[in-house]
Amino acid sequence: MISYNAFKTKVTGYLGGKYKENNLHIHKAGKWRDKPCTHILPEENQKDNFLFAAQINDKNELIIENQNVKLHRYWYHLNSSQVMCINFFNKLITEEGKEILLKVLKHIIKLDDDVSIEDASFEYEPDNIEKTNFDFYIKLSNNMQIFWEIKYTEDGFGKAKAEDLTRSGLTHKGKFKDIYEPKLHETLNFKNEKISCEDFLGNYQINRNVFYVKNKNDFSIFLIPEDNKKTCEQLDKVIGKFENVYKLYWEELYEIVKKEIENNEELKKYYNDFYEKYFGYKMIKE
pLDDT digits (tens, 9 = 90+) for 35-60: 999 999 999 999 999 999 999 999 99
The CA–CA distances, whole Å, from 87 to 158, 183, 239, 248, 280 equal 23, 35, 27, 17, 15
DSSP annotation string for 24-38: S-----EEETTEEET
Instruction: For the chain, give the percent of residues with pLDDT over 70.
Output: 98
- Model-level pTM greater than 0.85? yes
Instruction: For the chain, give the percent of residues with pLDDT over 90.
Output: 91
Residue 83 pLDDT exceeds 80? yes
158 touches 238 (CB < 8 A):
no
What tens digit of pLDDT does each residue of 194-225 get? 899 999 999 999 999 999 999 999 999 999 99
Residue 173 pLDDT class (50, 70, 90 cuts)? very high
| Average pLDDT of the segment spanning 180-197 | 94
E strand intervals along the chain: 30-32, 35-37, 61-64, 67-70, 117-124, 134-140, 145-150, 218-224, 245-249
| Average pLDDT of the segment spanning 23-41 | 96
Mean of all residue pLDDT scores within the chain: 95
Can you give the pLDDT at residue 66?
A: 84
Phi, psi of 189 (to 5 degrees): -105, -20
The CA–CA distances, whole Å, from 280 to 15, 19, 113, 277 equal 9, 8, 36, 6
Can you give the pLDDT at residue 132?
A: 83
What tens digit of pLDDT does each residue of 150-165 get? 999 999 999 999 999 8
Can you give the pLDDT at residue 286?
A: 63
Residue 128 pLDDT exceeds 70? no
Residue 129 pLDDT class (50, 70, 90 cuts)? low
Can you give the pLDDT at residue 235?
A: 97
Burial annotation 82-97 (CB, 10 A radius, 16+ → b, else e):
bbbbbbbbbbbbeeeb
| Average pLDDT of the segment spanning 132-137 | 93
Rounded Cα–Cα distance for residues 78 and 20 (Å): 9
Residue 278 pLDDT exceeds 90? yes
The helix (run of H) or strand (run of E) holding residue 13 is helix 4-14
Can you give the pLDDT at residue 277?
A: 98
Can you give the pLDDT at residue 39?
A: 98
Non-local (6+) Cβ contacts of 233 within 8 A are: none
One-letter amino acid at 48 equals D
Can you give the pLDDT at residue 5?
A: 96
